[in-house]
Structure 1
Amino acid sequence: MSLESFAFNSLIYLSLGIVVILGIGLVTVVTLYLIDITQKRHTIRRNYPVIGRFRYWFEHLGEFFRQYFFAMDREELPFNRSERSWVYRAAKNENRTIAFGSTRNLTEPGTVIFMNSAFPTLEEDATQAAPLTIGPYCQKPYTAPSFFNISGMSYGALSRPAISALSKGAAMANCWLNTGEGGLSPHHLSGG
């Protein structure tokens, strides 16, 4: 066997190998496409056949990329990764009573920790919170009736019923309602 025939045969076998690999890849992609467009469980895979499967892989790898290259779990706005993960679990009707976990130091004295409760506290078991005094040694200290309040949100994106509900809830809880950058509207005042 001469060198030329060996090179020619090698080239033929290499070409056949590449064609077989491409054929297997094409059959695999077509099979995945047909599976994805006919299944009814995942809308991402149904709307974006084959490439929608990469979402789960990227979502899994995302926590490693965020940790080293982008943002930490609680730096993303308006909803951080922990909150979105909880919403995804709730949407899939999975267990949503598990603790969020925290990347913050919770061992410092005075750190507020919300504990999960399967049932709300009964009215007769509730204790009245003491008012919070801001600037107790000032000439005119301010005493706030509530420690927790409703922070400023993009109220321009919220509907009138949503703002009214927040206003009425703040009135019931005796807490502040921050109007945010949008300013005060009649809906903010509907709670009293």
Structure 2
Amino acid sequence: MRFCPYALRALLVLKAKGVDHEVVNVNLRNRPEWYNEVLPAGTVPVLYQDDKVISGSMPIAEYLEEAYPQPHLLPTDPYLKALDRSFLDVALPAIDPVVSVLKGKGSREENWATFLGKIALFEKELLKRQTNFFFGQQPGFVDYVMWPTFILARGITAVCEELKMPAAEIFPRLSNWSQHMREEPCVRALVDDKHTALFVQSCVAGSRDFNAGLH
């Protein structure tokens, strides 16, 4: 499903590891029969490989990291790897208020304030690590699975002028990370900011158009 942040997590990891794959976008409101047979729960994303079926963005990303170890996206040191996973436990929920804005659940302003409160954690973590990316001087697992949240957040700020990301002076490390992530080849290959903004615009209008930019 285009613009799905959970699917984008898996796609970014696939792209970063150079794994050959085919993308099949599915309209969850009108699921094809074959998809219901593969995954009756009807969620995305799903990785279908030979006789293996794995659902959920994080299980898929974890599987890819283990099945295709090069290039590795998590630290090889067990302690550092545990720190990354611990950070993800508290960082991943940052996506929830962003999705709520897109779905029109609750107050847009209150959801955005919740999101801004959550990303303060990112600034603190990047300041502690003193690196451009969470993985170091190049993006890794944490960077790729968190970036889709910010793809949608940027789309929201492009459409909803009253909602803004913190200025670089307030969150300098986060601003630096965001700039570096936007320049990453994997991101540039998968993300079109104009299409994302059109999708957000359709969400705000009450009709999620997953074909935004293709008409």
TM range (shorter): under 0.3
Which gives a bigger RCO, structure 1 or 2 (Cα 8 Å, sep 6+)?
2
Q: TM-score, normalised by structure 1?
A: 0.21
Q: TM-score, normalised by structure 2?
A: 0.19
